[in-house]
A and B are shown apart, each in its own frame.
Chain A
Amino acid sequence: MLLISQILTAQTTLKDQLMAVHEAFGVNFVYDSSLDLEQIAGHAGNDVLSSGHSRYSDHSGYSRHSRPDRESLHECLDALLCGTGIDWEIRKRYVVLTGKGKKSGYAILIKSQVDTLEESRITAHASDMERRSSTGLKRIDSRDIDKGFSFMSSPDLIKTIQSLPGVASGTELLSGLYVHGGDGSDNLFLLDGVPIYQAGHMGGLFSSFNPDIVKQVDFYKSGFPARYGGRLSSVIDSRSSTGDMYEYHGTMSIGLIDGRVQLEGPLVQGKTSFNLALRRSWLDAVTLPAFSIINAGKENQRHDFRYAFQDFNAVVSHRFSEDNILELKAYYGKDNLRIDYMVRDYNSDIERMSHQSSDMDIRWGNFLTTLVWKKRLAEDLEMNSALYHTRGTSGLDIITSSKGWDDPVVGTYEEDYTSLTATSAAKADFTYKGNSDLLLDFGASYQFHEFAPERKFANTSWRYDGSKSQTGNSESSYQNGHEAAMYADGFLRMTDWFSVHAGLRYVLFGVKDKVRHRLEPRVSTRFDIGGNGRLDLSYTEMNQFSHQISTSYLDLPTEFWMPSTQRLAPMFSRQIAAEYSHRFPFGMDMKLGGWYKTMDNLTEQWNSYSYIPPVTNWDQSVITGKGRSYGLESEVEYTGKKLSLAAYYTLSWSERRFEELWYEWYPDKNDNRHKINLMCSYRFSDRFDVYAGWNFHSGNRVTVVSYKDDRYGTIIYRFGSPNNMRLPDYHRLDIGLNFRRTTRKGNQSIWNLSVYNAYCRMNAMFAQMQIFTDSDRSVSYGLVPIIPSFSYTLKF
């Protein structure tokens, strides 16, 4: 009660006072946009405004909360708005404010309403994070994602992370994350604490994280806390929103390619809530009838193309008490691509039919579910335990059939490929908060991994005499692995200006013929410099016991995961990082950092000439090598009332050394020397805001012929080192416009118009050198032009 009184005493405008009422009562305000809330002085005194308050925070950050009673809110609003000429009306969780003059529309006071209890938890957690955080952490909440560029109608988490310093994005449009020189398969994607194996839809065009349900994401690229392990280069820890415990509301959106629906609300008022989000692309709804029309009336021709992705998130949360919460969370995502064609041709001279057909069906996806129990065991000890199962699957079926006019046989080729990667696990994490100078995290986990790729094919030939011959084969692997880990991670403030954050993670990983164990130290120190500056230094070691077996950078569904084995050692990285951050008084934050990272036992596919990697003997089909990366990264961010600016710059080197490829260090494919991202958003009014982002990086690298000589009168071409040519610099401008409208009921509708690559630069995606008899030429290919898109979103 005292806290709110203090807040209100300091408020001088009506807007500030309404914000304080929002804090106290958990209500939001929808107001006539002709009202100038900044200019109108509030009337309320502390005695009135504090009357309905029933929320406070304890020292540990856990909040106590109960809903305000409606009568108190009435009294409060009466006192506050009396004599201002503003009428008010309570509609569920909104208070509608209207002026006397002409109405030009409605605006909403709190742009992103969240459950106040959850908000307080986040605030408390953020405070802990602020104290403990080391180098390389970026916290992204749903508002940050919403503020970003909406490609093809929806903002995307991975594309937001791609813009951050120290992260290379790889092939344009795809969801590649090459963090501090990593290889893309070394990022730990966590959805509600559960690993997700395929983080992209549509070949990486969209990420698997539905922006409607993502509450916040912690992205680490160095200074990893000891509770994370299993990947070398980054952690993307995404948390879903729990549903509103008191009111039903949601979001509907339809865009150029996909549609989304999200709905949340109470199952039992104040006790149990749900939050559901469904997303589906509807490209197939266009192509299916289109190809039906194209194929109509053509007996000897048939073409079909269908692609669809869908995902579904569900969160059910039950509060036994404020300190005892049970949550059930699930995610299901699937992509399906089908390409069919058939062509028949009748030769009347010989009275025979030729025939060619191909049916290809590719599917991939994830399923995960987790049961989470959060409980405060003592005043200073919290527990967060979970059981979960996660699986990534993919499959490819191809049937081709052909027969020429003169062929005596009809040949059919069938190929089936499937892969499964699954993990079942139990874990328990504990946090002990001794006092403001001591925090201790500790916990343990056990994971059971399964890896099962399989490939089959059959060649069948039918002869005119009816005889049939068939050849075929299949190969499969099944491996399982056991991974047990325990960790302890402590934060200790030694003096006013110096803190230490030290952790240790012990991992035991076993497969059929080999058991390995590793100890991973994680240490960071923090120096507070002056009032607003701080310097963080960190050292971390990470091991990765799962390897992505792939033959390209394209996120193909034919890739699969396999464990470290007797022959194939786990990947290992060491990283030191330093970061100086400074908070300026006028809303500007600045960070300047650097890192040096080494990686061992990285893999490259030995058989890169097949689109399906070998299913058996896969650990013998890769070669291992080293990587190193170093660089500088900087961030400057400004957030004002209307204007937000962000500028990121990275200067980096990323190199590889595979003895079986080249005798010395050579540049990595994503060795982008310079990377610049400039982002600006401006809110002209409550009804209109714009976004612009300019992205630049030095070109990716490809391998072409290096040398030539004509000693004998003919030019002979010779190869040199891998990745020996840098593609032209990449840059593009993205623009987004949001037209917002708030209805009297508090619903908000948003028309989004986005233009990707606004000046239509055909950035080189790959390159090829063509050598002719008497000349040669090297060309790059750009595939992505300007892409406009739009979406309509309704928040209710």
Chain B
Amino acid sequence: MKRFIFIISILIMISACEAPLDYSRIDSKECIFVETLIGNTPAAVITAEVVIPMHSEDYDKCKRDVSVYGTIGGRPIKFIDQDQYSQGGMFTHEIHPGEKIEITAWAEGIDKVHAETTVPEEIRLKSCRMTSRDEDFITFEIVYEEDQEDEGFYGIKFKDIRISEAPGIILSESYDMVISGSLFGDILIWDRHRARKEGNTVTFRTSVDVRSGGKDSYDVTLYRLSPETFHYLRGLYIKTTNFPSTGMGTPAFTYSNIIGGTGIAGSFWATDTTMKLEK
């Protein structure tokens, strides 16, 4: 029996519980990555690149030219200082709510990719006010209108300051998502489940950590996001949290609407306003 226990102990000790994984196990082949968020701003950027699988070391393939063709409401996108068929880049544009944006990209030897998004309407804002604040946290409320059958996606960005979530003040705030490092900078996003809807009036109330920036008023940008933009930002948020990344959570880490490739082609409508402390 002693020998048996000894052998088992040795077996347990020598068995490593952490093992490197072979990247060839990942289902991927080289494809085109496209990233663009187009809104009611004067200019936008489309990035289009060839990406290679994780197991590949052939980085030269990433340097291949990618051609991009896009339309907004049927009007071709004209890239600045480039032909209409280009590797993407910056372009000026004019967009209107409800217009369809279509983007196609291709490169030699790689499947063509395609994406679509529809420009959302502007947020129908009724009020945007701060209800309380202390040194670190502010609590605010945004009231807007939405059609009964509509289920919009929204975001708020504080200009010139960084924000983070303030969990634990209100239970439902534990579901807040502040995404850092996105194309928007620090943006807090929400959807139907976080806001209270009564008739056509929607109220979103939450708190954020403004990092010792306690002021009585803030310049903010409110966004109405296309579903693609929201899903993409949400994917960025979730993949940075630890719990699901272990593989035991639901597989909600990624989002892409680039058919045949990966990335995002999304749209938004931004509205600038000032949030003031209600006294």
Q: What residues make up the interface of A, taking CB atoms closer than 8 Å to B?
A: 171, 413, 455, 457, 459, 471, 473-475, 551-554, 604-612, 614, 616-617, 620-621, 660-664, 666-667, 669, 700-711, 718-728, 760-762, 764, 766-768, 776-783, 785-786, 788
Contact = CB atoms under 8 A, between A and B. Distances in A.
Given A609-B249, A611-B243, A788-B8, 19 more contacts: A473-B171, A608-B244, A609-B177, A614-B175, A662-B254, A663-B256, A666-B251, A702-B247, A703-B251, A703-B253, A706-B53, A719-B254, A720-B26, A728-B19, A766-B246, A767-B247, A780-B21, A782-B17, A786-B15
A663 B12 CA distance: 44
Given A720-B262, A721-B27, A707 B51 contact: yes
Q: B interface, by DSSP: helix, strand, loop or mixed?
A: mixed
Contacts of B227: 660
Interface stretch (B70-78, B92-100, B154-162, B234-242): B234-242
Nearest to B51: A707
B79 interface: no
Given A611-B243, A725-B25, A710 B257 contact: no
B237 A703 contact: no
A620 B192 contact: yes
Contacts of A762: 15-17, 19
Interface string B215-230: 0000000000001000
Interface in B12-41: 12, 15-21, 23, 25-28, 30-31, 33
B182 to A, nearest CB: 14
A551 B250 contact: yes
B37 to A, nearest CB: 16
Contacts of A785: 11-12, 15, 17
Contact of B253 (A606, A722, A778): A722
Nearest to B171: A473
Given A609-B237, A760-B11, A707 B18 contact: no
A778 B21 contact: yes
B115 to A, nearest CB: 9
Contact of A760 (B12, B49, B51): B12
A780 B17 CA distance: 8
Contacts of A706: 26-28, 53-54, 262
B168 A459 contact: yes
Nearest to B241: A609
B121 to A, nearest CB: 20
* A621, A662, A785: residue with the most chain B Cβ atoms closer than 10 Å: A662
Contacts of A666: 251
B19 A710 contact: no
Contacts, number: 210
Contacts of B30: 707
A146 to B, nearest CB: 25
B18 A724 contact: no
Contact of B254 (A661, A710, A711, A726): A661
A614 B49 contact: no
A127 to B, nearest CB: 45
A455 to B, nearest CB: 6
Contacts of B246: 766-768
Given A766-B246, A777-B20, A786 B252 contact: no
B175 A779 contact: no
Given A457-B171, A620-B192, A709 B33 contact: yes
Most buried by B among A553, A608, A666, A766: A608
B43 interface: no
Nearest to B252: A608
The 3 closest A-B pairs by CB, nearest first: A702-B247, A707-B51, A766-B247
B174 interface: yes
B168 A413 contact: yes
A552 B227 CA distance: 25
Nearest to A413: B168
B266 to A, nearest CB: 13
Contact of B18 (A617, A704, A710, A780): A780
Contacts of A760: 11-12, 15
B250 A786 contact: no
Contacts of B253: 703, 719, 722
A457 B170 CA distance: 9
B142 interface: no
A719 B235 contact: yes
A305 B81 CA distance: 68
B114 to A, nearest CB: 10
Contacts of B28: 706-707, 720, 724
A788 B12 CA distance: 11
Contact of A707 (B53, B63, B252): B53
B127 interface: no
Contacts of B254: 661-662, 703, 719-722
Contacts of B52: 707-709
A786 B172 contact: no
A553 to B, nearest CB: 5
A705 B54 contact: yes
Given A552-B250, A605-B252, A708 B20 contact: no
Interface in B164-195: 168-172, 174-175, 177, 192-193
A664 B259 contact: yes
B263 interface: yes
Nearest to B27: A724
Contacts of B210: none
Contacts of B172: 475, 614, 616
A552 B17 contact: no
Contacts of A700: 247
A378 B134 CA distance: 79
A715 to B, nearest CB: 8
A709 B193 contact: no
Contacts of A612: 174
B259 A707 contact: no
Nearest to B56: A708
A662 B255 contact: yes
Contacts of A782: 15, 17-19
Contacts of A475: 171-172
A718 B263 contact: yes
A570 B136 CA distance: 44
Nearest to B258: A663
Contact of B262 (A710, A711, A718): A718
Contact of B20 (A552, A719, A722, A779): A779
A767 B59 CA distance: 26
B60 to A, nearest CB: 10
A593 to B, nearest CB: 28
Nearest to A715: B59
Nearest to B20: A779
Contacts of A606: 193, 252
Contacts of A778: 20-21, 23, 54
Contacts of A620: 192-193
Contacts of B202: none
B262 A719 contact: yes
B269 to A, nearest CB: 20
Contacts of B177: 609
A609 B238 contact: yes
Nearest to B246: A766
15 contacts: A473-B171, A474-B171, A604-B250, A608-B238, A620-B192, A661-B251, A663-B256, A663-B258, A667-B27, A704-B54, A708-B52, A767-B246, A780-B18, A785-B15, A788-B8
Contact of A768 (B15, B245, B263): B245
B50 interface: yes
A776 B55 CA distance: 11
Given A663-B259, A718-B51, A764-B19, A707 B31 contact: yes
B205 interface: no
Contacts of B231: 660-661
B255 A661 contact: yes
A786 B164 CA distance: 44
Contacts of A455: 171
A708 B23 CA distance: 12
A779 B172 CA distance: 34
